[in-house]
Amino acid sequence: MKLILPYPANKRVKSAFCREYGLNSIYAGKHWAKRRSDKEYWKQFVLGELKKQGIEREYCEYPVEIIFRWDDHLDCSNHAYMAKMIEDSLVGYILHDDSRQYVKRITHEFHDRNVIEVEVRRYDPGVEIAL
């Protein structure tokens, strides 16, 4: 399963979007009510895109890996907050749950497609990530 999440089209709005949902916003002391609002925003955004892209509800009853591909100016690890909210949004639609029994690996990469790409695929323990 591969999901595409569009960034805001306007460069200035995209930059504000990244500041809002980057991990640095949590370190800056984002209030719990705002974090709850963020979680609801991402759930609606992800579920809306899944339906819009015709991705059917199907629980993966096997271990998976999730690959996030980003195209913005945040540091790679700064995407952890967004990735967590996207992963949580997939629970009950694609993922049975997000425990270590089902999600074995999460990878963050960059690409140049001006979208957030989320790929969920069967985990293969024989395939190691090259360092």
pLDDT in tens, 69-104: 999 999 999 999 999 999 999 999 999 999 999 999
**Distance between CA atoms of residues 12 and 15, nearest Å:** 5
Domain ranges of the chain: 2-122
CATH topology of domain 2-122: 60s Ribosomal Protein L30; Chain: A; (3.30.1330)
Among 128, 64, 110, which residue's Cα sits nearest to residue 90?
Answer: 64
Among 84, 92, 55, 50, which residue's Cα sits nearest to residue 68?
Answer: 84
**Distance between CA atoms of residues 29 and 119, nearest Å:** 30
Give me the phi and psi of 14, to 5 degrees please: -60, -40
Any idea what DSSP says for residue 103? E
pTM of the model: 0.86
